[in-house]
Amino acid sequence: MIAVLTDSTCDLTPTEAQKLGIHIIPLTVHMQERELLDWQEVDPDAVYSHMKAGGTASTTPVAVAAFAARYRELLDTHDEVVSIHLSGKLSETVEHARRAATLLKLERRIHVVDSGLACTPLAEAVLAARAALLSGGDPASAVRAAEAVCAQIHAEFSVPSLDYLRRGGRIGRAQAFFGNMLGLRPILGFEGGELKALRRCKVDHATEDMLDGLRQRFGDEPLCVSVIHAGRDSGRMQSLRHAVTSSGLNVKSARMHLMGPVIGAHVGPGTFGFMARPA
């Protein structure tokens, strides 16, 4: 038996992960002088409400000791573990996973993958690995399946407000001021394992801009598309879903995905985006 382990930044809820047979190890969210396990002890909307009220939130990676304990637990009932995590450029989590495997001297039984991604794209890579195993594949084929999906995925995000990026020190006060004054927002995407500002556009044009970018990239190719939103705003999420269905993209499957506490703590409530990959 092969276990699939990922971290909580994949933003699969604990219930979803359990149904899928995927094991999740949580990062930690620091809020109001408390340390809370991502998704287990803190809900995304609790973080977003706190930030909207003027508070800040920070995060820390999974510790080496936590990985070692989870690996021991999984290897008591499984032959090997495929361990897929958020980008090493965004967190030390994947490096801590590697250290734990080395510490246990079980590198041959623990296969650690740096996805170069986070959030919904990470979940897609994990689901691909799980599907490969369910089809009778071995750990090597599961790793290849995850890496293939990572190479195919394109995801972009935008923020309705620059204030949360400023509070977290990710942009300067002057940059936030002029961005707000001009109504400009960054379009963020994964590049080389980092979440970078790919371009800028008017705040009211961000949805159209991102979907137009997907049309240019994929053309008429059948796609799996996810709509990602930081916060349970049903009206907003329905509006984004409608934008996808009327975009002209050849959507074969679509799902809504709630951005979780860890990634949301860095970009702020209301952040939204789209992820697509060939169906």
**Torsion 147-81-117-10 (CA) sign:** positive
Provide CB contacts within 8 A for 94, sequence distance 6+.
85, 86, 87, 88, 112, 113, 114
Residues 73 and 100 in one domain: yes
Query: In the prediction, which pLDDT does 195 show?
Result: 85
Query: In the prediction, which pLDDT does 166 show?
Result: 52
**DSSP notation for 167-186:** HTTSS-HHHHHHHHHHTEEE
Residues 226 and 139 in one domain: no
The boundaries of the domain holding residue 171 are 154-278
Whichever domain contains 190, its CATH number is 3.30.1180.10
Q: What is the pTM of this model?
A: 0.92
- Assess if residue 89 is contained within a domain: yes
Query: In the prediction, which pLDDT does 91 show?
Result: 95
Token readout for 58 is: 């920070």
Residues 146 and 159 in one domain: no
Domain final position from 119, 151, 183: 151
Residue by residue, pLDDT tens for the chain (279 residues) are 999 999 999 999 999 999 999 999 999 999 988 999 999 999 999 999 999 999 989 999 999 999 999 999 999 999 999 999 999 999 999 999 999 999 999 999 999 999 999 999 999 999 999 999 999 999 999 999 999 999 999 999 998 876 666 555 544 444 543 344 445 688 889 999 988 888 888 889 999 999 999 999 999 999 999 999 999 999 999 999 999 999 999 999 999 999 999 999 988 999 999 999 999
Domains identified in the chain, total number: 2
- Assess if residue 52 is contained within a domain: no
Cα 152-279-26 angle, rounded to 5 deg: 60
Query: In the prediction, which pLDDT does 197 show?
Result: 83
